[in-house]
Structure 1
Amino acid sequence: MRTPVPVPWISPQGERSPKHGKEFRSARPETWGEPDAVTTQVTDRYGTTRAMAWDRIHPG
């Protein structure tokens, strides 16, 4: 999975802009960056749950 290309992207030496940004691996939290949405819910059955979402993550 890949993150979107950072905007604005300035091309060094006239290169094309990259199609994809940094790598995003579900098993490696250090690659995640800040989530675009976070929600936390306390439930009777499961305790506190937390969900995170990242916008525009796509196969690279």
Structure 2
Amino acid sequence: MAAPSPEWFKSSYSGGSGTECVECARVDTGMLVRDSKQRDGAAFAVSSHAWRALINTLTARVR
């Protein structure tokens, strides 16, 4: 049985004007990230631990 395709999403902060640069998808091991304008192109994986560290760092800088 094939694994289900990941469900890609853009940030709710994206403008929706076609200028978004990345999409993300949740997977068992963390997150996938790809260029939203090249959906058939390469994606890279980020572990759950690294993703949390990134989000925590970005959140701390915005506050």
Greater helix share, structure number: 2
Q: TM-score scaled to structure 1, two decimals?
A: 0.24
Structure number with higher strand proportion: 2
User: Higher Cα Rg: structure 1 or 2?
Assistant: 1
Q: Structure 2-normalised TM-score? A: 0.23
